[in-house]
Every structure is written in structure tokens, then in C-alpha cells.
Amino acid sequence: MNIHIAEHYGICFGVRDALALAERMANEGPLTTLGQLVHNPVARERLEGLGVREGNLDKGHERVTHRVLITAHGSSDAERARWRASGHVVEDATCPLVRFAHGQLRRLVKEGCFPVIIGKHGHVEVEGLAGDFEGAAVIETEEDIADVPVHALYGVISQTTQPIDRVRRLVAALRAARPEARVYFRDTVCRPTKDRQEALRKLMRAVEVVIVVGGRNSNNTRELVETVRAAGLTAHHVERADELRWEWIDGVEEVGITGGTSTLPETVEQVRLRLIEITNQHERMR
């Protein structure tokens, strides 16, 4: 069996910097991240080992330390103000590319557009983007377009981890549904997400099965899984190496590995080594 690793995979600079900041701050004193710093169980366990807590204003203050950290997914200004008003020192690990998306939406609204965000309902980044614009519309699928209020001008951005093809398709669908309106679109899908999607497409040309490594609640990891399945190949989503099963690769000659933008490089390496290990074990038994 040959193992192919995607050209671009795993942790992006935004997540890497957020983790480094949280670790540095945890060494200086008690810290609570406002939600999951990254959507990856291995990275979260590492932070937990340093005493970092996860908190949420709506769930009460009991477990929240004086210093709190906004995650790489960002937050609305209103939410930041809420934490400050409740007496917390608010530090910020928002990724610069999420900030860019906030800035683009703010500019479009200033120019008179009604705000539209293409992304996943309820995702922390999408809530942060929508949070400062009351009534902002979120489009996750074509069906959501019917609920977008009628306006003459729309300003559209997207969650940074959406597949760009889907974003463009939804923008086209909005234009088709509102032919009388002007729809201004700003591409805010981040470069690391595009790189991982493009690298996966290249990888799929060489393999039969793809192992996607990453948190089950990681949006961009799940998008990688969906991309593989939509192309008619088999994808297996694992968070850790010990989830790999022999049946998945029995008889497979070319297997690929990729990982989402919150997946640590050591987890991908453990998956690669475990694939070799279980293959060798079964070779010996033949």
C-alpha cells in the first residue's frame, strides 16, 4: 500500500498562533477561552493540561477566570463589550483573516448593503460576523435564500472555512433569486482553507481512499470529508490514530491522508505510522 499525504494539510497559521498565545498566557496565570479555542480534541486536551478552561458568558461566571481569550474564530464587538462590562480582561486570538472578513462586511454595510453571510448556522465564527448587524442573513444552503429579506443592495461575504465553489454557487443563486437587486460579493474564504481544498482535489486523483484527520466538530475538516464523498471516493474521518480500522484499507493500494486547519502535525504523523503498523501486522498474518 502506498500512502500519499496532501500537499497542504493540517494546522493553519491562525490556529497555530492562537494556540501559542493561549499557552503563553496560561503560563502567566489562570485563563478561560471563550468557547473552544480550536475545534480539535487533541489540542484542547493539551490546553486543559495547562489549566486552561473553556467558558461562555451565557452559561454563568462560575468557571470563568478574570482573564478571558477570544478564540481564532473571532467575536462580534457587542460580545467583546459584554465581557468587558462584566469585569473581565479580554484578550484576543482572532485570526487576521477572520478580522478581514469582519472588515469587509462592515465596509459593505457602510456602503448601504444589507449584510449576508454564507456559512453554517450557529457556527461561532458566523455568529461573530453576524453579531454586530441585527437581522443579518445567513445562507447555508439554497433553501435559505427564500428567507433573505428583499433589498436593493446586498453585501455578501462568507465564513472563512467554506469551500469557495459552494460560496460562488450560493452567490449565483442569490443573484438569480433577486434579479432586481445588486449583489456585491467579497471573497473572504481564507487561503489556508483554499490550499487544503485544492491539495485534496489533487490528492484524490492518485488515491482510492482518503483518511481525513481532524475534530468531528471542525467545520473545515467536515468539508474535506464531504469533498471526498462528493467526488465518489471513500473518506474516513478520524480524530486520532487509534480509530483507524484494518477493514478500511484491506485491499487498497493507494491511500491518502489530509487534515483540517486545526489538526496538529503530530496527529497526522501518528495516523501515517499507524497505517504502516496495521498493514505490517496483517502482512505477517497472511
The answer to whether the beta carbons of residues 72 and 40 sit under 8 Å apart is no
Minimum CB–partner distance for residue 278 and ligand SF4 (Å): 31
* Closer of 174 and 190 to ligand SF4 (Cβ): 190
How far is 184 from 206, CA to CA, in rounded Å?
38
* Closer of 119 and 192 to ligand SF4 (Cβ): 192
Q: x/- contact string, 48-67, with ligand SF4 (CB under 6 A)?
A: --------------------
167 in contact with ligand SF4 (CB under 6 A): no
Query: How many CB atoms sit inside 10 A of residue 133's CB?
Result: 19
- DSSP string of 93-105, one letter each residue: ---HHHHHHHHHH
Q: x/- contact string, 246-285, with ligand SF4 (CB under 6 A)?
A: ---------------x------------------------
* Closer of 95 and 255 to ligand SF4 (Cβ): 95
Q: By CB under 6 A, what part of segment 174-193 binds ligand SF4?
A: 190, 192-193
- DSSP string of 9-42, one letter each residue: -S--HHHHHHHHHHHHHHHHS--EEES-SSS-HH
According to CB under 6 A, which one of 12, 25, 37, 171 is a site residue for ligand SF4?
Answer: 12
Query: How many CB atoms sit inside 10 A of residue 66's CB?
Result: 11
Residues 6+ apart with CB under 8 A from 129: 74, 76, 101, 102, 105, 117, 119, 136, 157, 159
Take residue 166 and report the three cell numbers written for it: 459552494
* Closer of 117 and 183 to ligand SF4 (Cβ): 117
Binding range to ligand SF4, per CB under 6 A, among 40-48, 90-98, 205-213, 235-243: 90-98
Minimum CB–partner distance for residue 38 and ligand SF4 (Å): 8
The Cα diameter of the chain in Å comes to 69
71 in contact with ligand SF4 (CB under 6 A): no
The β-bridge relationship of strands 254-259 and 114-118 is: unpaired
According to CB under 6 A, which one of 160, 162, 221, 227 is a site residue for ligand SF4?
Answer: 160
Number of amino acids touching ligand SF4 (CB under 6 A): 14
Q: Which residues of 10-26 are buried (b: 16+ CB within 10 A; e: fewer)?
A: bbbebbbebbebbeebb
Active site residue 125: yes
Q: Residues interacting with ligand SF4, by CB under 6 A? A: 12-15, 72, 95, 97-98, 160-161, 190, 192-193, 261
What residues are annotated to the active site? 125
